[in-house]
Amino acid sequence: MNPSRRRALALIGMLALAACAGKEPEIGRTTGEFTSDAALTAKVKSAIATDAGAKTAASVNVETYRGVVQLTGFVDSDDQVTRAVSAAKKVQGVRSVKNDIRLKR
């Protein structure tokens, strides 16, 4: 893996973890479930960066609740949507993927 791609993946991972850092576990989820969902979110974000590219990963928001991953955001092409959804589905622990990614017009 080239150095710029490695840096991009590291940055994405750090941003994903930082986004989860200040959140309190919601009612109905144990701390363990919350932690598992946060880890799954980071894995999905990393998979999207690897499979669809850092630009796509930066444009796609990932939220996870009890293994159900929701993808939102705006991307440039149908190919980016397809690759992001496909990457998310491949991550171990993902129960299902809700695709709410939209194309920029």
Residue 5 to residues 22, 52, 55, 67, 91, Cα–Cα distance (Å): 27, 12, 11, 27, 20
Full residue range of the structural domain in which residue 33 is found:
3-103
**CATH value at residue 78:** 3.30.1340.30
How many domains does the chain fold into?
A: 1
Residue range 80-85: mean pLDDT, rounded: 96
Residue 41, pLDDT above cutoff 90: yes
Residue 64, pLDDT above cutoff 70: yes
